[in-house]
Amino acid sequence: MSQAGRYEFDPQYMDYSVRARDSHLDRHVMVKRGWTEQHRPQLQSQIATLSASQSRHLADVYDLLSLPDDKLAIVEESIEGQTLIEWMAARPTDECKILRTLLQIANALLALEAAGLVAASLGAEHWRFDDEGILNLSLYPLSDERVLEPQFGSANRLLELSGYAKELALRYTQATAKPLVAMSDPMLTGFLNGAPSSGSSIAHYRERIHAHCLRDRHRAVAVYRGQPTEMNRAQPTLRLAHPTPGVATIVLHYDGLQFFVHECVGEVYINNLPIPAGSVIAGSCVITLGASPRPWSERYFVTLDITHPEVVF
């Protein structure tokens, strides 16, 4: 716990939240007060948990101060960019930016879920972009009367995420007179209309949003009988067949979001397991043409390496 003298502000005339300068590290911070000494164990535990989450989408808490008026205050990262509510009010017209913003909200909610914290508020005014375009949520927002704080526990915040998705999709349509391309995805239609599937999770939708952020950019390389073949958006389909007609055939397809088995006939195995048509291939694997009872010389192996570009925050 640092001394309050490290921070340049006047604690006697301090409101619940004030911007201050950290004289040791020469940076601006937000100092928020609203607790007494009895809250110290809870605050220390929350701050330690938040620090351990190491999420770029949750505003950092640097310090816990004892003020001269016997009050406690937290020292929070000062984020200077637009609030989410300001960004949405401008009616964004770039679908990629909308999807990246939804992805960042989902990342923050998943970080909270993993840490066992429940945000006091997920209001758009409590989210703010930093100078690198990273969206951050303050877990110690202000109400009209006091500083709110997160609590330990579990909560399904899928409806809040879907609510943001609906709002952003609506604002995009109002600004461009057309729907988001992602709206045509059956997995996202209900979600983008504010009605997510009760059988799905934030993680489920997060992965699908992530795929749309990287739409048409995935690649895969199949090596069969020493010959490499690349699959991508320009070459989305690959047919692989056993040299003996009728033994085994598999047709792979890339739809811009994922690779999957379009057709599968005969003795085809992926990582030694039978694979039905329609199955998604999520990672690199080995495809075998020819069943195990056949002599080794009559079984053929295909290595499939899938590259997954990342959305970098």
Q: At 273, which CATH number?
A: 2.60.200
Residue 162: which pLDDT band, with cuts at 50, 70 and 90?
A: very high
Look up the CATH number of the domain holding residue 16. 3.30.200.20
Residue 44 is predicted with a pLDDT of 96
Q: Give, in order, the Cα–Cα distances in Å from 236 to each of 185, 248, 261, 262.
A: 18, 20, 12, 11
Report the alpha-carbon distance of residue 188 to residue 108 in Å, rounded. 19
Q: Is residue 245 part of a domain?
A: yes
pLDDT digits (tens, 9 = 90+) for 163-186: 999 999 999 999 999 999 999 999
Q: What is the mean pLDDT of residues 282-287?
A: 93
Within this chain, do residues 61 and 88 fall inside the same structural domain, yes or no? no
End-to-end CA gap in the chain? 30
Exposure of 260 by Cβ count < 10 A (0-12 exposed, 13-18 middle, 19+ buried)? middle
CA nearest neighbour of 128 among 190, 84, 98: 84
- Quick one: 34 and 94 in the same domain? no
pLDDT score for 235: 98
Answer yes or no: is 312 within a domain: no
pTM over 0.85: yes
DSSP reduced 3-state for 274: strand
Q: Which of 32, 55, 77 is the last residue of a domain?
A: 77
Domain count, the chain: 3
Residue 293, domain member (yes or no): yes
DSSP 197: -
Same domain, residue pair 169 and 233: no
User: Is 263 among the domain residues?
Assistant: yes
User: Does the pLDDT of residue 10 top 70, yes or no?
Assistant: no
Same domain as 296, residue 247: yes
Residue 98 and residue 208 in one domain: yes
- Co-location of 117 and 238 in the same domain: no
Task: Concatenate the DSSP letters of all residues of 113-152 into one string.
Answer: HHHTEE-S---GGGEEE-TTS-EEE-SS-B-SSSB---EE
Task: Supply the CATH number for residue 117's domain.
Answer: 1.10.510
Cα distance between residue 173 and residue 50, in whole Å: 36
Residue at which a domain ends, from 37, 62, 77: 77
Quote the percentage of the chain above a pLDDT of 70. 97
Strand boundaries in 154-277, DSSP class E: 219-224, 227-231, 237-241, 248-254, 259-266, 268-270, 273-274
Convert the pLDDT of each residue in 101-111 to its tens digit: 999 999 999 99
Confidence grade of residue 2 (pLDDT, cut at 50, 70, 90): low
Checking if the pLDDT of 8 tops 90, the result is no
Q: Is residue 271 domain-resident?
A: yes
Q: Give the number of other Cβ atoms within 10 Å of residue 270's Cβ.
A: 18
Residue whose entry in the numeric block shows the structure tokens 């739409």: 215
CA 295/CA 283 separation, integer angstroms? 28
Average pLDDT of the residues in 146-174 = 94
> What integer is the mean pLDDT of 77-91?
93
How much is the pLDDT for 67?
85
For residue 313, being part of any structural domain is answered with: no
Residue 312 — pLDDT band, cuts 50, 70, 90?
A: confident
Closest CA to 304 of 245, 242, 250: 250
Once rounded to an integer, what is the mean pLDDT over residues 188-200? 95
In terms of domains, do 72 and 92 share one?
A: no
The verdict on 71 and 156 lying in the same domain is: no
Per-residue pLDDT for 1 more than 70?
A: no
In a domain, 9, yes or no: yes
Residue 13: per-residue pLDDT: 60
- Residues 147 and 128 placed together within one structural domain of the fold: yes
CA distances from 1 to 4, 59, 61 (A): 9, 19, 12
Q: What is the mean pLDDT of residues 23-52?
A: 93
Same domain, 16 and 50: yes
Alpha-carbon distance 260 to 264, whole Å?
11
Boundary-marking domain end, from 44, 61, 77? 77
pLDDT at 9: 76
Q: Are residues 89 and 19 in the same domain?
A: no
Banded model confidence at residue 6, pLDDT cuts 50, 70, 90: confident
Whether residue 65 sits in one domain with residue 24: yes
201-253 tens-digit pLDDT: 999 999 999 999 999 999 999 999 999 999 999 999 999 999 999 999 999 99
Q: What pLDDT, on the 0 to 100 scale, is given for residue 16?
A: 83
Hey, is 35 helix, strand or coil? strand
Cβ neighbour number for residue 89 with a 10 Å cutoff: 12
Provide the domain limits for residue 70: 4-77
User: Is 159 within a domain?
Assistant: yes
